[in-house]
Amino acid sequence: MEKSSLKQKLSYAFIFLIFFSITYSVVARLPRYTIISLETPLDKTIPLIPIFILGYFLAYIFPLSAFLVAGSKKELKSTLKTFILMFLAASVIFMIFPVAIPPQQIQQQDVFSRMLLFTRSAIDNEFNAFPSFHVASALLTFLIVRRKSKFLGNLSLIPALLILLSTLFTKQHVIPDILAGIILAIIFYWYYKKPEALHTESAGGIVVNKKGEVIVVNQDNVSWSLPKGHIEKGEDALSAAKREICEETGIKSLKWVKNLGSYQRYRIGKKEKEDKSNLKTITMFLFTTSQEALKPKDPRNPEARWVEKEKVAELLTHKKDKEFFLKVIKELN
**Is 87 exposed, middle or buried (CB count within 10 Å of its CB: 0-12, 13-18, 19+)?**
buried
Q: Which region, left, alpha or beta, applies to residue 233 given φ > 0 means left and ψ of -120 to 50 means alpha?
A: beta
Whether residues 120 and 70 fall in one domain: yes
Residue 102, pLDDT score: 64
Average pLDDT per block of 10 residues along the chain, 333 residues long: 79 90 77 73 89 91 93 88 93 82 71 82 69 93 92 93 93 91 95 79 94 92 91 94 94 94 83 73 95 90 92 93 94 83
Whether residues 184 and 306 fall in one domain: no
307: domain CATH number is: 3.90.79.10
Whether residues 181 and 208 fall in one domain: no
The residue among 193, 212, 234 that closes a domain is 193
Domain that holds residue 243: 198-332
Residue 1, pLDDT score: 47
Whether residues 128 and 151 fall in one domain: yes
Whether residues 123 and 156 fall in one domain: yes
* CA 73/CA 13 separation, integer angstroms: 12
Q: Are 112 and 53 in contact (CB under 8 A)?
A: yes
In 10 A of CB 271, how many CB atoms?
Answer: 6
Whether residues 28 and 166 fall in one domain: yes
State the total domains in the chain.
Answer: 2
The residue among 148, 168, 193 that closes a domain is 193
Whether residue 1 lies inside any domain: the answer is no
Whether residues 233 and 126 fall in one domain: no
